[in-house]
């Protein structure tokens, strides 16, 4: 029987005040979310990681 092992690291980030910002300025909140994504995705890909999902 063959088995394989894989090391996993899970990264969770939070944008402080995001829900309140959505109530005040939805466009700005989406811009902040997009900026966060543009920063994180290249780092994750650099280490052969996978972006699995995003909660909002």
Asked whether the beta carbons of 44 and 13 are under 8 A apart, the reply is no
> What pLDDT is recorded for position 56?
62
The predicted-structure confidence for 9-33, as pLDDT tens digits, reads as follows 888 888 899 999 999 999 999 999 9
45 CB-contact burial (10 Å; exposed 0-12 / middle 13-18 / buried 19+): exposed
Q: What are phi and psi of 42, to 5 degrees?
A: -60, -35
Q: Whole-model pTM?
A: 0.69
User: 40-53 pLDDT, tens per residue?
Assistant: 999 999 998 988 88
């Amino acid at each position: 029987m063959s088995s394989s092992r894989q090391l996993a690291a899970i990264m969770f980030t939070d944008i402080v005040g995001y829900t309140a910002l959505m109530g005040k300025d939805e466009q700005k909140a989406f811009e902040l979310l997009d900026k966060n994504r543009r920063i994180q995705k290249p780092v994750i890909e650099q280490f052969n990681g996978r972006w699995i999902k995003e909660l909002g």
